Structure 1
Amino acid sequence: MRAVRSAYDVVAVWEIATPSGAGPVPGVGMAGFRARAADPVDLGVVPFPAVTLALDLGEGPLAVDDASGGRECGSVLVGLDPGPVRGRGSGVDCLQVRLSPPAAHAVLGGAAAEAGGSVVPLDALWGRDTARVLERLRAAASWDCRFAIAQAELARRCAESRRVDPEVAEVWRRMVTEHGGARVERMAAEVGWSRKRLWSRFRSQIGVTPKRAAQLVRFDHAAHRLAAGHGVARIAAECGYADQSHLHRDVAAFTGATPAALAAAPWLAVDEIAWPRRAAACR
């Protein structure tokens, strides 16, 4: 039995803020993170089925190391399928935004899908607007003000962009609802598309294939069950894995760790506090 990391342990390290209500753009979740001490932070980030914006507001800078060994500093976009990622910095003060893939497409256009599993500097996407937004966020008097500024910026960008196809949005919703268990062929038939058309349109708009997206959603469900203390054999059987070895391989592919190490990952304890409505945020 693993030692469960308590909410007190997490709060002792992080000041975590969440918005009081939903914002104007569906499929968007936000949380603010401020380290309680200036000591260096080195934290493995567990992949989540969303495109992530990390808005660096500290004296930092925040550094994000991707799975290929690359490093980006400052505010970044982390693509939908990044593999093992680590965040490093001192005096961390960061606003994190999670966008479901349909929301990411609406807010960022094709850039979200093009990012794939990459970590991309935010100013490569937003140009000079990045400095303007970050300056306003740093000057804000409270986390509530920061959330309002970020929500308004996302809503403005959403109004100027195209949405994903309704069929693609419905397939994503089904994947989340069924924890990655829905078969691609069945979902294609139910939205009136061929498997080939769904595969092509989903990949071009979401950034990964339907099969890979389903694997990521299933992994996320399994990871949170591991963190809740459920056994590996039970999770493998109930989450649709062929056997325990299959689950081990998935965990290693997404995180570079074992199921036991993943179960005790500090980021999952942070996740449960920062994203109490995490399921709604990835639809």
Structure 2
Amino acid sequence: MEIAVPRRSNRLPGISMAGFRQRLPASVDIAMVAHPAVTVLIDLSDGEGIVYDSRGRHERGSAVIGLMPGDLRAGGRVGACLQIRLEPDVGAAVLDASPDLSGTMAPLADVWGRDAGRIEDRLRAAASWDERFTIAAEVVNRRMRARTPVEPEVAQSWRRTITSRGQTQVDNLAGEVGWDRKRLWSRFRSQLGISPKRAIRLVRFDHAAHLLAAGHASADVAAECGYADQSHLHREVKAFTGQTPSAVAAAPWLAIDDVAWPGSSPTRDTAPVGRHIPKCRY
């Protein structure tokens, strides 16, 4: 697989992008895992493309995937796709909704209407990944400017959750923005589609998962991420993935994160055997 990442000029706050291309379309079967971002996955493959299966519902093509995708798998013969990760406070504006971002998957056409098809056509016709990133950044930026953002207090609370890597408490978040716990909980949940407590757990789990994938021992990860003990880490990993920490450490969905999303993944000391993934920077 080849991975492309955008130039700095195409990077926007709260938004990250990466392009993926198989040299030859390959059949894939990937379990989607909880991540602290809303994902817009734009299928640029020819033919069958990406197929989704969620709780007995089958969809095909470009899609929006929420923070907590639940029982969702993506498969099919994939040639190329553009993935856009939106932090929830940005996603609420870009997707033109105050959606339940926890546990949802929807075709992109259901969210962006006719714009979805037009954007896909422009991206398919682009001559390079560089041009595709420019197009995507323009689309996302335009939609952000045209819509009312979430309240500053909600956005600040989300940012604080991210910068603390989930090692904070709801009362602390509320105090930092001058709200009481009940008000923060209500506004955060209605605007981001997830409760502040759930967001804290999700961000902490995500950091722990990346540390596990980077080769750190479970006991060390539990201590660094603020879990009570190794058993607490095990329970949280099980709750979010249905797997053990050792299984998550070897999970293929984390194998490319230090290439495609370097800001979210600790750098491995050594490259894992059998996982060479060429990277393209444009």
* Same fold per superposition (TM over 0.5): yes
CA contact (8 A) 1:83 1:253 kept: no
> CA shift at 1:72, angstroms?
2.2
Q: What number of residue pairs does the alignment pair up?
A: 264
The residue aligned with 2:17 is 30
CA-atom RMSD in angstroms: 1.6
CA contact (8 A) 1:45 1:85 kept: yes
Partner Cα separation in structure 1 for residue 42 and residue 33 of structure 2: 18
Partner Cα separation in structure 2 for residue 63 and residue 80 of structure 1: 19
User: In structure 2, the residue corresponding to 1:38 is in which secondary structure?
Assistant: strand
Matched, 1:143 2:129: yes
Partner Cα separation in structure 2 for residue 82 and residue 179 of structure 1: 21
Task: Select the residue among 53, 65, 68 that pairs with 2:40.
Answer: 53
**Residue by residue, what CA displacement relative to the aligned partner does 1:219-260 show, whole Å, maximum 9, x if unpaired?**
000000000111111111221212222212221222222111
User: In structure 1, the residue corresponding to 2:205 is in which secondary structure?
Assistant: helix
The residue aligned with 2:279 is none
Structure 1 or 2: more strand by fraction: 2
Matched, 1:39 2:26: yes
| More contact order relative to length (CA 8 Å, sep ≥ 6) | 1
Residues 26-105 of structure 1 correspond to what in structure 2 (within 5 A)?
26-59=13-46, 60-66=48-54, 68-105=55-92
The structure-2 alpha-carbon separation of the partners of 1:145 and 1:36, relative to structure 1 and needing over 3 Å to count, comes to same
**Residue by residue, what CA displacement relative to the aligned partner does 1:87-115 show, whole Å, maximum 9, x if unpaired?**
2121331100000111112212324x334
The residue aligned with 2:147 is 161
CA contact (8 A) 1:84 1:256 kept: no
Gaps of 5+ in 1: 1-13
The residue aligned with 2:218 is 232
**Residue by residue, what CA displacement relative to the aligned partner does 1:172-224 show, whole Å, maximum 9, x if unpaired?**
11111111111110110121001000000000111100000001000000000
Partner Cα separation in structure 2 for residue 39 and residue 188 of structure 1: 47
Q: Judge which range, 254-263 or 37-46, deviates more.
A: 37-46
Q: Judge which range, 217-226 or 90-99, deviates more.
A: 90-99
Identity across the alignment (%): 55
Residues 211-230 of structure 1 correspond to what in structure 2 (within 5 A)?
211-230=197-216
User: In structure 2, the residue corresponding to 1:92 is in which secondary structure?
Assistant: strand
Residues 257-272 of structure 1 correspond to what in structure 2 (within 5 A)?
257-272=243-258
TM-score by length of 2: 0.89
Amino acid at match of 2:131: C
Partner Cα separation in structure 2 for residue 249 and residue 76 of structure 1: 30
Partner Cα separation in structure 1 for residue 11 and residue 255 of structure 2: 27
Gaps of 5+ in 2: 266-282
> CA shift at 1:278, angstroms?
3.2
> CA shift at 1:84, angstroms?
5.0
CA contact (8 A) 1:180 1:218 kept: yes
> CA shift at 1:23, angstroms?
3.1
Partner Cα separation in structure 2 for residue 248 and residue 72 of structure 1: 33
Partner Cα separation in structure 2 for residue 43 and residue 216 of structure 1: 20
TM-score by length of 1: 0.88
